Amino acid sequence: MLRGSALLELTRQRVLAFLRRPEAVFWVFAFPLVLAAVLGFAFKSGKAASSRIALLEESSVLFERLEGAPNVELELFSSRVQAELALRNGHVDVLVLEGEPPVLRLDAARQEAEVARLRVLVAISEVESDRLALDEVTERGSRYIDFLFPGLLGMNLMGTGLWAIGFAVADMRQRKVLKRFLVTPMRRSSFLGSFLLARLVFLVLEVVCLTLFAVWVLDVPFRAGLLQYATLCLFGAIGFAGLGLLAASRVKTTEGVSGMLNFVMMPMWLCSGVFFSYERFPDAIHPVLRLLPLTAMNDALRATMLEGAGFGQILPELGVLLFWTVVPFFLALKLFRWS
Amino acid sequence: MSGTALQARGLVKRFGDLTAVNGLDLEVRTGTCLALLGPNGAGKTTTIEMLEGLTRPDQGTIKVLGLTWAGQAQEIRERIGVQLQETRLTEKITAKETLRLFKSFYAQSRSIEEALGIVKLEDKANDFVETLSGGQQQRLTLACALISKPSLLFLDEPTTGLDPQARRNVWDIVESFKSEGGTVLLTTHYMEEAERLSEEVVIVDEGRVIAEGSPQGVIGRLEAESIVELHPRDGGAQRLEDAQLLGLPGVRDVRRAAASITLSVTDTQASVGALLGLLGEQGIALETLQTHAPTLEDVFMDLTGRHLRDA
């Protein structure tokens, strides 16, 4: 029997043990698809939401002027008390009361209220719309869903990379299987290599499923070179695998590793531009945020996928990912405990 | 059968302030079984893990099949089979697949079917590990240890937590391994197991050897023909003095527990007769009176004053 087959056998069993757990398969494959689908459909339509404007039934003058105004939905209330209640719990965006001039009641902290105020203002002051010509953005690649998808893919690669390795290693250590392997002639490199290989198998499945879904169903543009896209995903996957290995290098229990992995991932969920751009954070910390592996992954994915950027343009991000590949692996090998 | 399969000299292992193993010597002859016997915390597992190369001793030397861990670790690993305490195999993997994995680690090995046959799990080959009973899982971990045709087998408490039938199944497997010339190092706290499987027992307590030899030889040191245990009624044990008991013919030793007294005797008939006479004189009624041939358990009691199981 060939020695090299230990690597393949370990890999095969990693894959089998995973596929035989339906709940794990759901969280890795189905859940991101569901998330992308829900968010995708929620943000796919380019139509602006209407403003809901409350009026009292007796306000007939206002009713006439506002009825039929663009993007305005009127709600009539028989009493002031009911109208105030609807305003308070966010059922309507503003309440307009008759008077000279009419009075607008609103909560200034709500963005929808500001939008509604402008729409009411335009409707009652009869500003001619040709004072400002409109040209709507409709190209694919500039909608929110186009921004969101690469972030979701990056987040998923991070999650599965960290969990697949971190959790499995801690679990095997807890079950004393690592220790059992240690008294066999199994090479440690085969063991660690099998995690990477198994990871690559799932990486292909994950990336292909999610990307096809995004392109076909959500109509997200794909302007990337395939080789560059594949390389980038590979870089990311291996980087996150190293981080997962590092997180699990010492922890003795699966509970311990869960906490550790959440600790590692939480800052990146928030700060790496998954759901919203990290540009919203103060300028001073942008350079720091760009050093996070998920930020680099997301930026590079967006540039590659949406803008068709070449290798040359994503070199800084690849550099960051390479750093996160080499350093955690090296540290993990130093710190790793088998028992 | 001659030669030494395993040799350890002056093993010491400390964990912080605790000295788990304190100057331990061992020698296992090729083709025999040595049982390391002792209560929990005696240092059995630490010792066996040092011999398996999992833990580095602070002091002392180890030779496994004539090889050292420092120089020839991979060669040793090719030639030993190990069953650790508490290994939980992957649940969603079948018995056959589990063996296939372990087989892939070794340069030489037997077939999966043969290994399953040895542990009598042929009909469970395609069952997931999680569906196997405790005894079947234990047999599967034994098969994993045997897949490489090892010449030396390490078993750390192989039958702890198993029911009597499952325990006997494990014993049968170990005996058949020995019958083919295999050497075994076993740790256990079951006396019966040590007496049945091993040519040599080493009793350890607090990290050092307190007795060693063949099971019969070690038991023979008690110089007792039998052990007499009596439970007098109504606190009668307190009314019997050690001096009175030692004065009876054939009584070598007296030991007391809460409400019972244990005597080591060299002449069962004379001692028991005299004992019953003494009880009659003092008007002490008996709850129970038992005699049995001395066992390793009694040796341990004699040496430490404690029971093996609950020490």
Hey, are the CB atoms on B106 and A1 less than 8 Å from each other? yes
Instruction: Judge whether residue A103 has pLDDT over 60.
Output: yes
Hey, are the CB atoms on A179 and B102 less than 8 Å from each other? no
| CATH classification of the domain holding B275 | 3.30.70.980
Hey, are the CB atoms on B90 and A3 less than 8 Å from each other? no
pLDDT higher at A49 or B277: B277
Asked if the structure places residue B121 within a domain, the reply is yes
Sheet strands (E) in chain B: 4-15, 18-29, 33-37, 59-64, 80-83, 152-156, 183-188, 200-205, 208-213, 226-232, 251-256, 261-265, 286-292
Both B103 and B232 in one domain: the answer is no
Residues of chain A with Cβ-Cβ distance to B82 below 8 Å are 180, 183-184
Closest-CA residue of B relative to A1 is B107
Both B24 and B162 in one domain: the answer is yes
Both B167 and B231 in one domain: the answer is no
Hey, are the CB atoms on B90 and A6 less than 8 Å from each other? no
Hey, are the CB atoms on A1 and B86 less than 8 Å from each other? no
Q: Which of A5, A176, A179 comes nearest B104 by C-beta?
A: A5
Residues of chain B with Cβ-Cβ distance to A3 below 8 Å are 107
| CATH classification of the domain holding B61 | 3.40.50.300
pLDDT higher at A175 or A145: A175
Both B205 and B230 in one domain: the answer is no
Both B54 and B144 in one domain: the answer is yes
Residues of chain A with Cβ-Cβ distance to B46 below 8 Å are none
Both B248 and B279 in one domain: the answer is yes
Per-residue pLDDT of chain B (311 residues; tens, 9 = 90+): 468 999 999 999 999 999 999 999 999 999 999 999 988 888 999 999 999 999 999 999 999 999 999 989 999 999 999 999 889 999 999 999 999 999 999 999 999 999 999 999 999 999 999 999 999 999 999 999 999 999 999 999 999 888 999 999 999 999 999 999 999 999 988 888 998 999 999 999 889 999 899 988 988 888 888 999 999 988 788 888 888 898 899 898 888 887 889 999 999 999 999 999 999 998 888 889 999 988 888 888 888 777 665 54
Asked if the structure places residue B305 within a domain, the reply is no
**Which residues contact residue A100 at a Cβ distance below 8 angstroms, ignoring those fewer than 6 apart?**
none
Asked if the structure places residue B81 within a domain, the reply is yes
Residue A134 tokens read as: 């409109």
Both B139 and B52 in one domain: the answer is yes
Max mean pLDDT among A108-122, A219-233, B139-153, B278-292 falls in B139-153
Distance from B252 to chain A by nearest Cα, in Å? 47
Hey, are the CB atoms on A184 and B105 less than 8 Å from each other? yes
Q: For residue A1, what pLDDT is reported?
A: 42
Closest-CA residue of A relative to B105 is A186
Asked if the structure places residue B300 within a domain, the reply is no
Last residue of a domain, one of B214, B237, B255: B214
Instruction: Judge whether residue A308 has pLDDT over 60.
Output: yes
Asked if the structure places residue B299 within a domain, the reply is no
Hey, are the CB atoms on B88 and A179 less than 8 Å from each other? no
Dump pLDDT digits (tens) for A148-196: 889 989 998 998 888 888 888 999 999 999 999 999 999 988 998 899 8
Hey, are the CB atoms on B80 and A183 less than 8 Å from each other? yes
Residues of chain A with Cβ-Cβ distance to B128 below 8 Å are 20
Asked whether the beta carbons of B112 and B99 are under 8 A apart, the reply is: yes
Average pLDDT, chain A: 86
Q: For residue A299, what pLDDT is reported?
A: 94
Hey, are the CB atoms on A1 and B97 less than 8 Å from each other? no
Q: For residue A3, what pLDDT is reported?
A: 46
Closest-CA residue of A relative to B97 is A13
Both B179 and B274 in one domain: the answer is no
Both B195 and B47 in one domain: the answer is yes
Both B206 and B227 in one domain: the answer is no
Asked whether the beta carbons of A316 and A235 are under 8 A apart, the reply is: no
Both B66 and B170 in one domain: the answer is yes
**Which residues contact residue B253 at a Cβ distance below 8 angstroms, ignoring those fewer than 6 apart?**
B224, B263, B264, B302
Based on the structure, what is the number of domains in chain B? 2
Q: Which of A175, A185, A186 comes nearest B87 by C-beta?
A: A175
Q: For residue A60, what pLDDT is reported?
A: 82
Residues of A with CB under 8 A from a CB of B: 1, 3, 5-6, 8-10, 13, 16-17, 20-21, 175-177, 179-186, 339
C-alpha distance from residue B31 to each of A314, B6, B216, B293 (Å): 65, 11, 19, 28
Structural domains of chain A, ranges and CATH numbers in brackets: 10-43+140-335 (no CATH), 51-131 (3.40.190.10)
Residues of chain A with Cβ-Cβ distance to B104 below 8 Å are 1, 5-6, 8-10
Domain extent, residue B205, equals 4-214
Dump pLDDT digits (tens) for A234-278: 999 988 998 999 999 989 888 999 999 999 899 898 899 888 888
At A114, is the pLDDT very low, low, confident or very high (cuts 50, 70, 90)? Answer: confident
Asked if the structure places residue B247 within a domain, the reply is yes
**Which residues contact residue B59 at a Cβ distance below 8 angstroms, ignoring those fewer than 6 apart?**
B10, B11, B12
- Return the residue in A9, A25, A181, A183 with the most chain B beta carbons within 10 A, the one to mutate for interface testing: A183
- Burial environment of residue B50 by CB neighbours within 10 A (0 to 12, 13 to 18, 19 or more): buried
Asked whether the beta carbons of B307 and B301 are under 8 A apart, the reply is: yes
A63-67, A77-81, B179-183, B185-189: segment of lowest average pLDDT: A63-67
Report how many Cβ contacts below 8 Å link chain A to chain B. Answer: 72
Q: For residue B1, what pLDDT is reported?
A: 42
- Tokens 């929620």 found at: A42
Distance from A13 to chain B by nearest Cα, in Å? 7
Both B144 and B289 in one domain: the answer is no
Distance from A9 to chain B by nearest Cα, in Å? 6
